[in-house]
């Protein structure tokens, strides 16, 4: 059982480049979300989805886009990378059942130069 899988694990981008962080879960969870983790600030919610075709903004959505075409996948797109987006990104999923325990991927460490 793979759980939540994120790719890539590491990425270096130049300012202005775009890229997509991939997230996939095999637990048939309805809820998926993206967080970024920065030193001294904890994890902050970027975007989330309560089901296929439904997405909403979190606390820090600017500069990021998401879509949810399937239950399994929830990609995060950086439209035009900026140094302020240097961070570690985590994808999480949870079920409407199972008391909504959240499961996290291993993270993507992104550096924008």
Partner 1 sequence: KQEVTQIPAALSVPEGENLVLNCSFTDSAIYNLQWFRQDPGKGLTSLLLIQSSQREQTSGRLNASLDKSSGRSTLYIAASQPGDSATYLCAVMNTGFQKLVFGTGTRLLVSP
Residues that bind partner 1 (CB under 8 A): 31, 33, 35, 40-45, 48, 50, 58, 90, 92, 94, 99-107, 109
The answer to whether the beta carbons of residues 91 and 104 sit under 8 Å apart is yes
* Distance of closest approach, residue 63 Cβ to partner 1, in angstroms: 19
Q: Which is nearer to partner 1, 17 or 104 (CB)?
A: 104
* Distance of closest approach, residue 62 Cβ to partner 1, in angstroms: 17
* Distance of closest approach, residue 21 Cβ to partner 1, in angstroms: 14
Strand order in the sheet with 4-7: 4-7, 19-25, 76-78, 64-66
């Amino acid at each position: 059982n793979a759980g939540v899988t994120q790719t890539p694990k590491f990425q270096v981008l130049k300012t202005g480049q775009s890229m997509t962080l991939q997230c996939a879960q095999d637990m048939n969870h309805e809820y998926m979300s993206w967080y970024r983790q920065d030193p001294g600030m904890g994890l902050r919610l970027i975007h989330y989805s309560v089901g296929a075709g439904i997405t909403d903004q979190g606390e820090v959505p600017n500069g990021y886009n998401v879509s949810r075409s399937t239950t399994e996948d929830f990609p995060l797109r950086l439209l035009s990378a900026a140094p302020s987006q240097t961070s570690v990104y985590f994808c999480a999923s949870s079920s409407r059942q199972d008391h909504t325990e959240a499961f996290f991927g291993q993270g993507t460490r992104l550096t924008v130069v």
